[in-house]
Amino acid sequence: MKSSQIKVSELGEKQLIERIIQKSKSCSIYKPSDFSYFDIKTSIGDDSALTNVNMDDNSYLVSSSDMMIQSSHFPKAMTYFQMGYKSVVVNVSDLASMGAENIGFLLNIAIPKDTLLDDFDELICGVIQACDYYNIPLIGGDTNEANEIIISGTAIGQVDKEKALMKYGFEIGDLLCISGDLGLAALGFELLKLKENPNDEIIEKIKSIDSTLIDLAILKALKPEAKYEKGHILRDYNTNNNRITTTDITDGLASELYEILNSDRKHHKEDSYEKGIRIYEGNLPVEEEFKEIAKVLGLDYLDLFFHIGEDFELLFTINKELKDQLSNEMNYYIIGEITDKNTVEIVLSNGTIEKISSRGYQHLK
Amino acid sequence: MKSSQIKVSELGEKQLIERIIQKSKSCSIYKPSDFSYFDIKTSIGDDSALTNVNMDDNSYLVSSSDMMIQSSHFPKAMTYFQMGYKSVVVNVSDLASMGAENIGFLLNIAIPKDTLLDDFDELICGVIQACDYYNIPLIGGDTNEANEIIISGTAIGQVDKEKALMKYGFEIGDLLCISGDLGLAALGFELLKLKENPNDEIIEKIKSIDSTLIDLAILKALKPEAKYEKGHILRDYNTNNNRITTTDITDGLASELYEILNSDRKHHKEDSYEKGIRIYEGNLPVEEEFKEIAKVLGLDYLDLFFHIGEDFELLFTINKELKDQLSNEMNYYIIGEITDKNTVEIVLSNGTIEKISSRGYQHLK
């Protein structure tokens, strides 16, 4: 097929971002080396960009920018307050997963002309309260008109060069960990769908299993939080010996597992690359009630864990020597390890081993 | 009218931004003083945010973020390349008007699913070539899906604290200047409208006046440039004696004149504020052909100068002692002065004096 007939939906979000990285070399009028004033550590690809600024020799400037569009990012049940709040959370989460301290937040917002001022105020209050909570002042931005709500946020921070939490750099035998419960936001989205098309029988059934879990899942879907403090703890422990690598789980665990492997492969200097990941189902933090509710909804609970994101938990690897020391500092779960086998696999509770596919959620796909 | 019935369109862009600044105090869960880690010089209000970062005592971090939406910001004739290019220009212009050195650019983009990959590539090439031209590396961002093209760009830079070009701080007698020709982009937009609904008689008439001017005006509307070098020259001359204040003209000259007066009033420490602005029509850089074309199009050429923006020229004030020295460094036009009379007025060529109204272009109005 000729390039001229291909639509962007055939590539999807991640391939398009790869394409932008390629274009930044191929369609540049200068050679990339002409950007001599600032040295960019990782231009695009990690959770946030790290930029070497002449201001200071010890810190990187860290920046992250994310756009959210009502029809694809906000469930119908989400309030204006929650939309504003989430626009800060997604960006702070990217900074947290680099171990960065927050500096400032820029808010670009587009809203329909007939939006009620009260709703606008509520959205802004969501932004402000999230900025307060994560100690990141709102420093700028603009407002525009569109036919649906669009929020584009940019978070700026800084991190010690020696301590920045990259996606790459783990070694065979390192432990694979998550900072908290996965799958709850995913379950929440499913429950919200059910609310929109109610089925009384199913609703009664799942309520009888665990109504607290239901409320919690919906809350996680509508008002997620960034794992800011845990990001800072991991950063403080990130010495050469401990070699911590970190990313935040936004597109589903499976997709992030492939992300960290790809990132590590890119930074690998030798010819052959033989690292892989093994997850143990038995290690996944999951309550029986969670599995039961998923079953009533006709879902495989592992799908909720692996293929839908939005939990904003951190996925990280540590040298196994660090295990106990880190447990004294924060709660986390060890769910697997880095192997010397170039696959991403899960050891199921029944003993069988299955490959994990990379499909997480991608826009435009 | 109760707040609950008011729509955002009744306030418009500038009042909404004021409202965000208010909310950042009133709906904060902490007191603003709790943001103690970083000192923000001007949170929102100037062209870019200046943030006091602990990295370095001599520089502010400068950041600017702008969202552009196909239906309101891009004329139909604009190519994908030009859309991408402009998304960089608007943000670099905000940095230039603070005198900042560029550090990096973040690109958030949303496109319809059925966008051709070739068009996507062209848009990205526009972004990259503008980044090259202004020496601002693309360091991050994301891609999304929407039903029209939305580009949200964020530019990050830095500036010496002593030299930052604010909007405020001019004194009575200071000269009001612009960095280059105004009104051309505005004329270009009108010509593009004419192309969409062609009237052969009018087209023939204006072509016979000056076809080069027509091409130039359309180019200025479709591919504007930021006044990057001039921003840096002004910054280098910005000592206490020279007291240069600067903004970029994005929403029309009239609107910016009121902006700088409002900004100066806010930073004025005494009770009464008695500064004003006087423009001299005879000093405006305008060719006879420009006036003639405007007339054929049924427009007042002064409206093109004052009430439509997008030229991205710099509007600045200087101590009149600096006049000759600055002329050796760069081309600029002195169009008026700061008066001791609290009005914004124009002395027309026929000698009469008229008030200039503030209406520039505002979104959501």
- Tell me the residue ranges of DSSP E strands in B13-58: 39-42, 49-52
Q: Do residue A53 and residue B103 have CB atoms under 8 angstroms apart?
A: yes
Place A363 in a pLDDT band, splitting at 50, 70 and 90.
Answer: low
Q: Do residue B140 and residue A65 have CB atoms under 8 angstroms apart?
A: yes
Q: Output the six-digit token pair for A287.
A: 């309550």
Residue A301: exposure state from Cβ atoms within 10 A (0-12, 13-18, ≥19): buried
User: Is residue B58 a contact partner of residue B160, using CB atoms and an 8 Å limit?
Assistant: yes
Q: Do residue B106 and residue A150 have CB atoms under 8 angstroms apart?
A: no
Average pLDDT of the residues in A293-317? 92
Residue B171 has pLDDT above 70, yes or no: yes
Residue A72 has pLDDT above 60, yes or no: yes
User: Is residue B282 a contact partner of residue B349, using CB atoms and an 8 Å limit?
Assistant: yes
Name the percent of chain A lying above pLDDT 90.
64
Q: Output the six-digit token pair for A163.
A: 């301590």
Place B161 in a pLDDT band, splitting at 50, 70 and 90.
Answer: confident
Residue A39 has pLDDT above 70, yes or no: no
Kindly provide the ipTM of the predicted complex, given to two decimals: 0.83
Q: Identify the closest residue of chain B to A15 by CA–CA distance.
A: B143
Q: Do residue B103 and residue A146 have CB atoms under 8 angstroms apart?
A: no
Q: Do residue B132 and residue A4 have CB atoms under 8 angstroms apart?
A: no
Place A355 in a pLDDT band, splitting at 50, 70 and 90.
Answer: very high
Q: Tokens 């600055």 identify what position?
A: B326
Residue B1 has pLDDT above 90, yes or no: no
The DSSP output letter for B4 is: G
Phi/psi for B76 (5° steps) reads: -60, -30
Average pLDDT of the residues in B69-75? 91
Closest by Cβ to B116, choosing from A4, A19, A114: A4
Closest by Cβ to B152, choosing from A51, A64, A108: A108
Place B37 in a pLDDT band, splitting at 50, 70 and 90.
Answer: very low
**Residues in A touching B10 (Cβ below 8 Å):** 117
Residue B43 has pLDDT above 50, yes or no: no
Residue A33 has pLDDT above 60, yes or no: no
Q: Do residue A132 and residue B34 have CB atoms under 8 angstroms apart?
A: yes
- Helix-strand-coil split of chain B, %, nearest 5: 40, 25, 35
Residue A324 has pLDDT above 90, yes or no: yes
**HEC string of B296-329?**
HCCCCHHHHHHCCCCCCCEEEEECHHHHHHHHHH
**Residues in B touching A146 (Cβ below 8 Å):** 69, 71-72, 148, 150
Query: What does the pLDDT read at residue B241?
Result: 82
Query: What does the pLDDT read at residue A54?
Result: 57
Cα distance between residue A44 and residue A14, in whole Å: 11
In angstroms, the separation between the Cα of residue B248 and the nearest Cα of chain A is 15
Average pLDDT of the residues in A205-214? 93
Q: Output the six-digit token pair for A320.
A: 């196994």
User: Is residue B167 a contact partner of residue B97, using CB atoms and an 8 Å limit?
Assistant: no
Residue B130 has pLDDT above 90, yes or no: yes
Q: Identify the closest residue of chain B to A361 by CA–CA distance.
A: B144
In angstroms, the separation between the Cα of residue B274 and the nearest Cα of chain A is 29
The segment with the largest mean pLDDT, out of A7-11, A303-307, B9-13, B320-324, is B320-324
Query: What does the pLDDT read at residue A360?
Result: 55
Q: Do residue A158 and residue B53 have CB atoms under 8 angstroms apart?
A: yes
List, in sequence order, every residue forming a beta bridge with A142; answer none if it has no partner: A108
User: Is residue A253 a contact partner of residue A362, using CB atoms and an 8 Å limit?
Assistant: no
Please tell me the number of Cα atoms within 13 Å of A258 on its side-chain side.
14
Residue B30 has pLDDT above 90, yes or no: no
Average pLDDT of the residues in A141-160? 92
The DSSP output letter for B53 is: -
Residue B38 has pLDDT above 50, yes or no: no
Question: Global pTM?
Answer: 0.86
Closest by Cβ to B3, choosing from A19, A118, A143: A118
Residue A278 has pLDDT above 70, yes or no: yes
Q: Identify the closest residue of chain A to B101 by CA–CA distance.
A: A37
Query: What does the pLDDT read at residue A36?
Result: 31
**Model confidence pLDDT, tens digit, residues B207-217:** 999 999 999 99
Give how far Cα A290 sits from Cα of A254, A255, A287, A294, Å: 19, 22, 5, 6
Q: What is the CA radius of gyration of chain A?
A: 21
Place B167 in a pLDDT band, splitting at 50, 70 and 90.
Answer: very high
Query: What does the pLDDT read at residue B31?
Result: 41
Q: Who has greater pLDDT, A31 or B287?
A: B287
Interface test with B, best of A39, A129, A144, A160 (most B CBs within 10 A): A144
What's the longest Cα–Cα distance across chain A? Answer: 65
Closest by Cβ to A61, choosing from B13, B103, B124: B103
Q: Do residue A20 and residue B64 have CB atoms under 8 angstroms apart?
A: no
Structural domains in chain A plus CATH codes:
37-160 (3.30.1330.10), 175-355 (3.90.650.10)
Q: Who has greater pLDDT, B116 or A364?
A: B116
Mean pLDDT computed over every residue of chain B:
87
What stretches of chain A show up as alpha helix (H) in DSSP? 13-26, 70-73, 80-96, 117-133, 184-196, 200-209, 211-222, 228-237, 253-266, 288-296, 301-306, 323-329
Q: Which of A109, A165, A97 minimizes the C-alpha distance to A138?
A: A109
Render the burial of B330-340: b for 16+ CB within 10 Å, e for the rest. Answer: bebbbbbbbbe
Least confident interval from A44-58, A116-130, A255-269, B28-42: B28-42
Cα distance between residue A181 and residue A187, in whole Å: 12
Residue B258 has pLDDT above 80, yes or no: yes
Q: Who has greater pLDDT, A214 or B34?
A: A214
**Residues in B touching A161 (Cβ below 8 Å):** none
Average pLDDT of the residues in A297-325? 93
Q: Identify the closest residue of chain B to A144 by CA–CA distance.
A: B363
In angstroms, the separation between the Cα of residue B80 and the nearest Cα of chain A is 14
Q: Do residue B63 and residue A106 have CB atoms under 8 angstroms apart?
A: yes
**Residues in B touching A63 (Cβ below 8 Å):** 104, 106, 139-140, 154, 156
Average pLDDT of the residues in A103-132? 91
**Residues in B touching A142 (Cβ below 8 Å):** 13, 17, 65-67
Q: Do residue A146 and residue B150 have CB atoms under 8 angstroms apart?
A: yes
> What is the Cα A33 distance to its own chain's centre?
31
Least confident interval from A325-334, B222-231, B248-257: B248-257
Q: Which of A33, A159, A34, A108 minimizes the C-alpha distance to B106?
A: A108
Mean pLDDT computed over every residue of chain A:
87
Give how far Cα A277 sits from Cα of A231, A274, A323, B217, B271, Å: 22, 10, 18, 58, 68
How many A/B residue pairs have CB atoms within 8 Å? 305
Q: Identify the closest residue of chain B to A50 by CA–CA distance.
A: B139
Query: What does the pLDDT read at residue A15?
Result: 79
Residue B23 has pLDDT above 80, yes or no: no
In angstroms, the separation between the Cα of residue B6 and the nearest Cα of chain A is 6
Query: What does the pLDDT read at residue A364?
Result: 56
Query: What does the pLDDT read at residue B14?
Result: 73
User: Is residue B123 a contact partner of residue B87, using CB atoms and an 8 Å limit?
Assistant: no
In angstroms, the separation between the Cα of residue A73 and the nearest Cα of chain B is 10
**Residues in A touching B364 (Cβ below 8 Å):** 111, 113, 143-145
Q: How do beta strands A59-69 and B276-280 pair? A: unpaired
Q: Who has greater pLDDT, A215 or A38?
A: A215
Query: What does the pLDDT read at residue A11?
Result: 78
In angstroms, the separation between the Cα of residue A322 and the nearest Cα of chain B is 30
Cα distance between residue A93 and residue A46, in whole Å: 12
Name the percent of chain B lying above pLDDT 70.
89
Place B34 in a pLDDT band, splitting at 50, 70 and 90.
Answer: very low
Query: What does the pLDDT read at residue B54?
Result: 57
Average pLDDT of the residues in B177-184? 95
Query: What does the pLDDT read at residue A56?
Result: 62
